[in-house]
Structure 1
Amino acid sequence: MRHYFLLVPLFFVTLLSFQVHAEQSRPAPSEQQQEQALAQVQEPMYKPLMERYILDELKAVRQDQQKLREDVTKQVTHAQLDTADRAITYTTDTINNVFFIITATASILVLVGWNSLRDVKNKVEDIVNTRVSVITNEYEARLNTFEEKLRERSEEILSNQEKISVTNEVHSLWMRANLESDVANKIEIFDEILNRKPEDVEAIAYKADALLELNETAQAIELCNQALDIDSDYGYAYWQRACAYALTHKHADALADIKMSLEYSPNLRNELLHESAFASLHDNASFNAILAGDV
């Protein structure tokens, strides 16, 4: 209904605006025409009650807007106060619950007594110490095993280094022996080799060969026996002992050692005729049979 009343003054305002526009579009009347028009006017051209009504409606609209603003402000304020109140209530309840828990825990501790706490502490310490001791012993055992393996590995490395060093020295001595023409010096070189490698059967056999060149047959036989005690399959030791037996005219022993040397070192067969120590066996039938390959 209020909207209807608002439309009425708007209608009159619009109508008046059209009339004003129409009057402005007309040509301006003369003074005589204006006086005639004023003489014909019999009632006022405005209505005071209608204007009063429009003003009252505008005032009512402003009052409604102000009231609406106040209502919205009150609702927002109440909502904020309600939220703050709930937050304060929640915080208060939480703090109270925490204090209740603390109070209950303190009461339990008082009831149980400090002796129980001391027992718990001692028990925990015992468990921790036991566990630490077990872990310590385990790692100590592992460390000892690691140290033992490391020590064995170190000893193995040192041993290998020493063997390499000895091998290099022996190789150098063999080269010197091959280049040496003096028999006595050769024997000294072989002695140096045997000082570094006492069980080197090759050095023993070659030393026996050098002794045979000096007619030291007994010592040569002893060295050959020593070499065969170390390695009974070493054919060159049998060969050198056969040479010693041949030089001492022990032909049977010499022939037996020749057979053994050829069994273990067949390549020595080519040296039978070239070996000067076997000169006394050239007329021996058994030697010739060996030479011919019949035996």
Structure 2
Amino acid sequence: MSKLFTAILFFIVPFTLFSEDTVQVDSIQQPLYRPLIERYILDEIKSLRQENQSLKAQVTKQISEAKLESSDRAINYTTSTVNNIFYIITAAASLLVLLGWRSLNDIKKSLKIDMAKKIQTLTSDYESRLQQIEVKMTERSKVIIETQKNITDTNSIHSLWMRAGLEKGDEDKISVYDEILSIKPDDIEAMTYKADALLEIGEVRWALNLANNAIDLDKEYALAYWQRACAYSQLDKQTEALKDIKKALELSDTLEDELLNEKHFENLHDNKSFKLLIPKS
């Protein structure tokens, strides 16, 4: 794919540079390589779908082969059992002829009773084994289906994150984050990024609720406290904002460099407690 991308660039650039109706570089409004990136993303998604279909076909084939193998074993087991019963009958008849211990009727009744007990024992054992096989096959099928669903969801979420990175408007990003949350409702990262986008469009209380939900799901996620501090700052709740800022810095000290760059903290710049949090250069 990288070679194809390079070849296309070498093919397009000369014609763009030496065309009679050359367009000035300053007039370009959008990157020329954006369609190529989108094409790359579509090819990747197509490849993932093909891999999923191949995986599904392989799983179906393996399940069918396993069921066929179980049926063959059951038939062989039944055939062996019947053969053994006939061998027993033959041996018993031979003993009757040679030794003559009992009358024919007594031996016949005894054989019927013994055969019934043996068949019942074998049947119970066979049914028990079949039930165990069915339970194992059902469990494995559930695991395979769940794994396939997780793979599909993961690929979809990955594609949506890539799409969110390409979106320019905050409302478009919020729509993408909503799609991620519809697939994985407990995705705290998507909640946090959505809260940040909501702050950008002025939906402060909505962003505050999302940050609270993210913290309820993971109390060790620093960015959730950071976004909640931004919301508190916009609502002029400086005490709560400073408390969440301290918690975020405890969980991730790399956020110290962003204290003065965060525009939502501008109304805290005159606060003494906030100034103490700023690292000294």
Q: Please give the TM-score of this superposition, normalised by the length of structure 2.
A: 0.62
How many residues are aligned here?
A: 184
1:232 aligns with 2:219: yes
The one of 227, 251, 256 equivalent to 1:264 is 251
Question: Counterpart in 2 of 1:206?
Answer: 193
| Structure 1, 196-205 or 281-290: larger mean CA deviation | 281-290
Aligned partner letter, 1:152 = E
CA deviation digits over 1:235-287, x for unaligned, max 9?
11100000001111111000000011111222211211111001111111111
Aligned partner letter, 1:195 = S
Q: State the distance in 2 between where 1:120 and 1:237 align.
A: 84
CA deviation digits over 1:136-190, x for unaligned, max 9?
2112112211211111111111101100100000000001111101111111100
1:169 aligns with 2:156: yes
Question: Counterpart in 2 of 1:44?
Answer: none
Secondary structure in 2 aligned to 1:292? coil
1:156 aligns with 2:143: yes
1:245 aligns with 2:229: no
Q: State the distance in 2 between where 1:274 and 1:216 align.
A: 21
| Structure 1, 119-128 or 153-162: larger mean CA deviation | 119-128
CA deviation digits over 1:103-159, x for unaligned, max 9?
xx79x68xx6xxx32222121121122112112211211221121111111111110
Q: State the distance in 2 between where 1:265 and 1:143 align.
A: 55
Question: Counterpart in 2 of 1:89?
Answer: none
Q: State the distance in 2 between where 1:169 and 1:182 align.
A: 21
Q: State the distance in 2 between where 1:133 and 1:248 align.
A: 78
Superposed, 1:74-223 pairs within 5 Å as 116-223=103-210
Question: Counterpart in 1 of 2:43?
Answer: none
CA deviation digits over 1:29-49, x for unaligned, max 9?
xxxxxxxxxxxxxxxxxxxxx
Secondary structure in 1 aligned to 2:278? helix
Q: Identity, % of aligned pairs?
A: 46
User: More relative contact order in 1 or in 2 (CA 8 Å, sep 6+)?
Assistant: 2
Larger radius of gyration: 1
Q: Which runs of 5+ in 1 are unaligned?
A: 1-104
Aligned partner letter, 1:256 = K
Question: Counterpart in 2 of 1:102?
Answer: none
Asked if structure 1 preserves the Cα contact closer than 8 Å seen for 2:256 and 2:279, the reply is no
CA deviation digits over 1:183-240, x for unaligned, max 9?
1111110000000000000001111111000111101010111111111111111000
Secondary structure in 1 aligned to 2:261? coil
Q: Which runs of 5+ in 2 are unaligned?
A: 1-96
Question: Counterpart in 1 of 2:28?
Answer: none
Q: State the distance in 1 between where 2:255 and 2:109 align.
A: 87
Secondary structure in 2 aligned to 1:215? coil
1:284 aligns with 2:260: no
Aligned partner letter, 1:137 = S
Secondary structure in 2 aligned to 1:221? helix
Aligned partner letter, 2:120 = S
Q: State the distance in 2 between where 1:265 and 1:154 align.
A: 42
Structure 1 runs (4+) deviating above 3 angstroms are none
RMSD in angstroms over aligned alpha carbons?
Answer: 1.9
Q: State the distance in 1 between where 2:171 and 2:133 align.
A: 52
Aligned partner letter, 1:250 = K
Question: Counterpart in 2 of 1:8?
Answer: none
Aligned partner letter, 1:199 = D
